[in-house]
Amino acid sequence: MRALGREVSNWGRWGSDDERGTTNLITPERVAAAAGLIRTGEVFHLGIPLDGDGPQPGGLRINPIRLMSENGQEQVLPGGFKWADDYVFMPLQAGSQYDSLAHVHYDDQLYNGFAGDGVSVKGADKCGIHTQAGGIAGRGVLLDIAKARGVDWLEAGTAIGPAELDEVAAAQGVTVGAGDILLIRTGWRKKFLSDGDAAGFMAGEPGLSLNCATWLRERDVAVVGSDNWAVEVMPGENPGAAFELHMVLIRDMGLTLAEMLDFEDLSEACAADGRYDFFYAGPPLQFTRGIGSPVNPLAIR
């Protein structure tokens, strides 16, 4: 894994002080070109509902708890005015979300060589999610692996390798290129929608194999999003290791991951007219020094 990490590394590519990694690949020119993918004006939102029925079984993360602070019941205001307000307590990665580049590291270094202990009780002094606040809009491409395999979802532990990515892209008639936001549909969201089993959702998942890192690096993909919770296959391919693709993609390549997205409606629309690229707009919230951010990305066709 460390050798692979060195091979695909983007450290220094955008300067020694760069905190954004591959989202640098989303240049204004590419954004402008991607606008041409908007044709019918149909908008699909890729975020899952944020409520108590989400995929978190408890433990490390819980589902969002939203509570009302005002509902008008006790208010006596001029003009009969009533207002309502609410608070939320939630893990920033409870549902559809981005990982900041400070989310994982190894050997005491984050992406671009920043010190691992800069991730303190205060958050990330480098590579916080706020550094991505302005950047995540551009060309989106969906690779619908589940549909290509003709299944509702791939089973947990099923690895998706580079060859399959190429085959599905070819079958869909789409290419994956520099600065793209690549979305991988495994059907894992569909499974959760079918059975509502949060513990099962988190117990494992189908996902990318470790050697997809090279494939992603060769194509200069800017962001990878998935409908599972960790992009990569779980359990991983190497017994005794954990989250190896996370480490290589985030820490070595500086690639932003988006997880727990919902591609169900988008999948049908793409299949209907055979067009698998679109304009993607998914800004994270600007949590200063944050490790992650909830997001509700839009795919606009």
- For its own copies, the binding residues in 203-222 under the rule CB under 8 A are none
**DSSP letter string, 184-224:** EE-SHHHHHHHH--HHHHHH-B-EE-TTHHHHHHHHT--EE
Interaction between residue 20 and its own copies (CB under 8 A): no
Q: How far is the CB of 121 from its own copies (least distance, A)?
A: 5
Helices 188-195 and 264-273: crossing angle in degrees, nearest 10, is 130
Listed ranges 76-84, 183-191, 213-221, 268-276: which one lies at the site for its own copies (CB under 8 A):
76-84
CB of 116 vs its own copies, minimal distance in Å? 6
Residue pair 271/265 in contact by the 8 Å Cβ criterion: no
Of the two residues 168 and 227, which places its CB atom closer to its own copies in the complex? 227
Specify whether the CB–CB gap between 124 and 102 falls below 8 A: yes
Contact 291, 297 (CB under 8 A): no
CA distance 62 to 169: 36
Nearer to its own copies, 148 or 178 (CB): 178
Q: Is 76 in the site for its own copies (CB under 8 A)?
A: no
Q: How far is the CB of 9 from its own copies (least distance, A)?
A: 17
Q: Could you tell me which stretch among 82-90, 142-150, 160-168, 213-221 binds its own copies (CB under 8 A)?
A: 82-90
Binding segment toward its own copies, per CB under 8 A, in 22-30, 156-164, 167-175, 187-195? 22-30
What is the rounded distance in angstroms from the CA atom of residue 283 to the CA atom of residue 112?
23
Site for its own copies in 86-105 (CB under 8 A): 86-93, 102-105
Residue list 244-283, contact with its own copies (CB under 8 A): 244, 246-247, 279, 281-283
Per CB under 8 A, the segment of 40-48, 153-161, 200-208, 252-260 that binds its own copies is: 40-48
Q: How far is 142 from 149, CA to CA, in rounded Å?
A: 15
Q: Which of 204, 206, 207, 290 binds its own copies (CB under 8 A)?
A: 290
| CB of 62 or CB of 271, closer to its own copies | 62
Give the binding-site size for its own copies (rule: CB under 8 A).
Answer: 106
Stretch that binds its own copies, among 7-15, 32-40, 208-216, 219-227 (CB under 8 A): 32-40
- Which residue in 254, 296, 248, 297 sits closest to 50, CA to CA? 296
Nearest 5°: the CA angle 250, 247, 184 is 65
Task: Say whether residue 188 binds its own copies (CB under 8 A).
Answer: no
Query: In this complex, which beta carbon is closest to its own copies, that of residue 169 or of residue 259?
Result: 259
Question: At CA 18, angle to CA 17 and CA 23, rounded to 5?
Answer: 175
Tell me which residue of 74, 72, 70 sits closest to 85, measured CA to CA: 70
Between residue 117 and residue 136, which ones bind its own copies under the rule CB under 8 A? 117, 119-124, 130, 133-135
Distance CA 197, CA 188 (A): 11
